[in-house]
Amino acid sequence: MEVLYELQLIDSQLDELEELRGDLPLTVNELKGQMQLIQDQINSKEEEKKINSEKRISNEEEIERLSANLKKFKTQLYQVRNNKEYDALTKEIDHTESEIDKLTKEIDDLEILTEQLKNEIDELVPQLDKLNNELKEKESGLKEIIAANEKEEKKWNELRNEVVEKVRKPDLNTYTRIRKAKNGIAIASVVRSTCTGCHSMVPPQRQLEIKTNKRIYTCEACGRILISNEITERVSKKLGF
């Protein structure tokens, strides 16, 4: 039980160091997420612009080819020998002119869409820059806090690794589960016949069993691991609290 309580005190110290960072880690992650979302939108719009540009070039090349055919068809009008050939050429000319008009309109539409995409990108870029500046500021603040507590955090982590090696795996699993469920506090002592975790009364017989330190006993009310007050004082003194 002493080793488990020692682990609890160490984890509490690490929790306090973590709390010094406040919501900065969460804020940094949220900013990164927002930036990625905007960057994805920009990338998508840039890709669409690229596709539009390739389509416009393709249309221009097709218009150039069709225009050459149109010129040829119009020249051939003067060489027809009968109405059937004339009608066939006229039909080809009408179809070619229709295709050219269609492609020309598509080019105009693509230019309008490309300009719209450009404007949307121009609106997103300042948002991205603003978030990036905010991210740099938050990351700088977070790095300062981490640097200021780096030595102390390293000390507690090294000590924690040593203590964990001494804890039986089933006991460690129980401790970890309760700690997660109880906001970081898995162990409570018995003071004046009550659990310091929830202030519920602990039966006399259970208090005697707890003092034997032979196995884990939990509070019937809050579920925390119960230890004797003597252990808390002994371990606290050991760790310098």
d(CA 200, CA 203): 10
**pTM for the structure as a whole:** 0.63
d(CA 56, CA 67): 16
Q: What angle do CA 194, 197, 198 make, to 5 degrees?
A: 70
Position 224 scores a pLDDT of: 96
Tell me the residue ranges of DSSP E strands in 36-147: none
Position 138 scores a pLDDT of: 94
Q: Options 3.40.50.620, 3.40.50.970, 1.10.287.1490, 3.30.40.230; which CATH number does 2-17+151-239 get?
A: 1.10.287.1490
Digit-by-digit pLDDT tens for the chain (241 residues) are 899 999 999 999 999 888 878 889 999 999 999 999 999 999 999 999 999 999 999 999 999 999 999 999 999 998 888 999 999 999 999 999 999 999 999 999 999 999 999 999 999 999 999 999 999 999 999 999 889 888 998 999 999 999 999 999 999 999 999 999 999 999 999 999 999 999 999 999 999 999 988 889 999 999 999 999 999 999 888 888 8
d(CA 161, CA 5): 14
Position 241 scores a pLDDT of: 80
d(CA 189, CA 230): 9
Burial of 7 (0-12, 13-18, 19+ CB in 10 A): buried
Position 179 scores a pLDDT of: 96
Residue tagged 């460690």 (tokens): 172
CATH number of 21-148: 1.10.287
Position 95 scores a pLDDT of: 97
Bridge partners, 225 (sequence order)? 187, 218
Q: Where in the chain is the domain with CATH 1.10.287.1490?
A: 2-17+151-239
